[in-house]
Structures are given as structure tokens and as C-alpha cells.
Amino acid sequence: MLEVWDIYLKKVEKESFLKSFILFFLSQTLLASALFYLNYEKEVQTLDTNLFSKMRVCSYTLTCKEFQFDFVAKKSFEAYKLYKTPQALSAYFPILGSDKNYLKLFLPAQSYKKQLTQLKNQEFIRFLVVMMLLLVLSMAFSFYTLSPLRNALHLTEEFIKDILHDFNTPLATLRLNIAMLKNKEDKKIIRMQNAIQNILDLQSNLKAYLQNHQLQKELFVLEPLVQERIALLEKNFPEVTFTCKLGNRKLHTNKDAFIRIVDNLLSNAGKYNKRYGHVDVFWEDKRFIISDTGKGIEKPSMVFERFYKEQERGIGIGLHIVKKLCDELGIKIYVESELGVGSRFILTII
């Protein structure tokens, strides 16, 4: 059931479904509870009325076995009135030819409570049946209200995927033509190469953002994967030294999503590092850490906000996507940073 739930609904859809379900179900439950309480009070009054009617009939014949009887002085009680006490349910009736005494008919508290318990059980069973119907109705209502959101999300994702696919041809043409230029050290050419690389990074991030990574898990060794990503990235940062010390640590999660996380963090660590700086990747107390000797971050609490950036380079979406991917994979991420000293991105594997 949980696997079907995960396949059918994405994170934002689950949140929307749960909120609408809880709101509808709780409101209907409160209304049903109030109605059942009022109905129970009415049923108790009906029970009391029926018992009192039986007592009146019994007062003429005294042949009823349900009630017990006694004689009491008139001054303390009122005739034809039902009294409830912890000891009994009782009523008082005049005795023909007697001015001083009343006939007291009463139902012992134990017998009265037994009838109340039966009444409560009946109402409780009805209440459970209604709750089950409300549960089904609430789920149906929530799925119904969710369908427009799901359709809109699906259309948006398909549109973005089409655009990302169409990026490939013009980008390939640009890279090919730039590669054919003779003066590759020209600053304008370098800026064009960086711009194309930014677009490629954005394309990769958007593709990762659109995928659902929760179900696609596999077990892999960390160090070979990180070493492979470092080998691909370090040629872009020849003046930065990358080291990796992870031992035989293994991770069970979505491999593609974790690669996107590592690539973004390593790329940022190299991009904003000092000349002849270091980027160290290591494992410490169940935490995966990427540490650099870069410029540092002025506002570490803001780095995962969408479009936030402290440098001119980039568009400020990479770390936001990193946070989103970590949330999907159940990884807690936070950053420690000091200006002029460097930063540490710490991933706690849950």
C-alpha cells in the first residue's frame, strides 16, 4: 500500500492530499461527534421517559419486576417527577387514601447504568460506521480535489522536459563552434564557454529536480563514486587540490540524485576556492563532509534559498536543488562557514 502511495503521488501531491484530507476529515468528524452527542442525550431522555411511563403504570398494579418500591413521607418529594441520584432512578406517586406518604418506585443505579451502557455501545457502533464512511468519503474527496493539481504538474513537467531536450542541439552546436576557434585563451571565448557550462549545469539540475528518487535506491561504495566525480571536475580547477578519504563506506540511496548533490557541492567548492586551495571529502561520525578553503559564505542560513547567491557567477539555484534532493533522499544537510577561511557542507545520512 505504501509503495503504491509513493508511486502514485509525488511529495508536493502528498502534502496537498494530506492537508485536504485532514481538513475535510477533521471537520466532518467534529460535526458528526456533535450530532452523535446530541443524539445520545436525546436517547437518554427517551430512555428516562420510557422508564417513567413504566413506573406510572406499575404504580397502579405493583406487579412489575423491573422496579422496586417503598413508602416515603410526602414532605421531601414531589409526585410525578423523576429523580436521578447515585443510588437509583426513582419517581413518587400518591397513595389513595393517604395524606402523609408517597409510593416510591425506583430502579437501582446498577440496572440503570447497565441500560445506559447498552445505549452507549449502540451509539458507539453507529459512530464507528459513520467514521469509516467519512474516512472513505474524505479520501475520495481529497483525490478528487488533487486531480487538477496533478494535471497541472504533469503538463508543467512535460513542457520543461521538452524544453530541456530542445536545448541539446543548439548547445552542441555552440560547443562545437567554440572548440574550432583558434584563440581559445581569449577572455570572450572563456566567458562563452563558462556560460555554456552554466546552461549545461542548469539543464542537469532541472532534470534531477523533475525526477522522483525515493523509490530508485541501490547500495554502492562511496569512495569510488566520489573519486570518479572529482576526476571529472578537477581538470576545471587546476589550482585546487581535491582529496577523498571515505574508506569502505557504503550508502543505500538513489545513486543519480546523490551524484547531482556531490557534483554541485564539489563544483561550488572548486569554483569559489582560493588559489592553491583545498577541497577535502571525508566521513566523520556518520556524516559525509565536503570541506573547502574558499572565500566563505556571508549568510550560511540563506544558501539553500532559491536564487540566493553572493557571487556574480551562477544563478543561485544549484544549492536549492541540492537541498531539495537531500530532502527527497532523507539526508539532513547544513553548512558551517567563516569568511576568508572556508566552508563545510555536512550531510547526515539518516
- Whether residues 220 and 136 fall in one domain: no
Chain segment 313-326, per-residue pLDDT in tens: 656 677 888 888 88
- Whether residues 93 and 227 fall in one domain: no
Among 120, 147, 174, identify where a domain stops: 147
Buried residues in 185-219 as b, exposed as e (16+ CB within 10 A): eeeeeeebeeebeeeebbbbbbebbeeebbeeeee
Quick one: which of 157, 159, 201 has its CA closest to 316?
A: 201
Q: How far is CA 234 from CA 30, 95, 148, 319, in A?
A: 61, 109, 46, 19
83: β partners? 90
Among 125, 147, 169, identify where a domain stops: 147
- Whether residues 323 and 243 fall in one domain: yes
- Whether residues 123 and 251 fall in one domain: no
pTM of the model: 0.51
Q: What is the pLDDT along the chain (350 residues), one digit of tens a residue?
A: 444 344 445 666 777 788 888 888 999 999 999 999 999 999 999 999 999 999 999 988 888 888 998 888 887 788 889 999 888 999 999 888 788 888 889 999 999 999 999 999 999 999 999 999 999 998 888 888 777 767 766 666 666 666 665 666 677 777 777 777 656 566 677 667 766 766 776 666 666 666 655 557 888 888 889 898 888 888 788 888 899 988 888 888 888 888 888 888 988 888 888 888 899 999 888 889 999 988 888 888 888 887 777 666 656 677 888 888 888 888 899 899 888 888 999 998 86
- Whether residues 226 and 96 fall in one domain: no
Query: Is the residue at 239 inside a domain?
Result: yes
For the record, the C-alpha cell of 178 comes out as 567554440
Query: Is the residue at 158 inside a domain?
Result: no
Task: Please tell me the predicted confidence (pLDDT) of residue 128.
Answer: 93
Query: Is the residue at 206 inside a domain?
Result: no
Write the CATH number for 338. Answer: 3.30.565.10
Chain segment 262-278, per-residue pLDDT in tens: 888 988 888 888 888 89
Distance CA 272, CA 262 (A): 15
Task: Please tell me the predicted confidence (pLDDT) of residue 186.
Answer: 67
Instruction: Let me know the angle formed at the C-alpha of 103 by 98 and 108, rounded to the nearest 5 degrees.
Output: 165
Query: Is the residue at 154 inside a domain?
Result: no
Nearby residues of 213 by Cβ (< 8 Å), 6 or more positions away: 253, 254, 256, 257, 325, 328, 329
Distance CA 278, CA 341 (A): 11
- Whether residues 219 and 342 fall in one domain: yes
Residue 121 structural domain: 2-147
Give the total number of structural domains in the chain. Answer: 2
Task: Please tell me the predicted confidence (pLDDT) of residue 165.
Answer: 59
- Whether residues 36 and 138 fall in one domain: yes
- Whether residues 341 and 258 fall in one domain: yes
Query: Is the residue at 278 inside a domain?
Result: yes
Q: How far is CA 103 from CA 57, 58, 85, 192, in A?
A: 13, 11, 17, 107
Diameter of the chain by CA atoms? 131
Query: Is the residue at 243 inside a domain?
Result: yes
Distance CA 189, CA 177 (A): 11
Among 128, 147, 166, identify where a domain stops: 147
Kindly report the length of the chain. Answer: 350
Task: Please tell me the predicted confidence (pLDDT) of residue 203.
Answer: 67
Query: Is the residue at 172 inside a domain?
Result: no
Query: Is the residue at 159 inside a domain?
Result: no
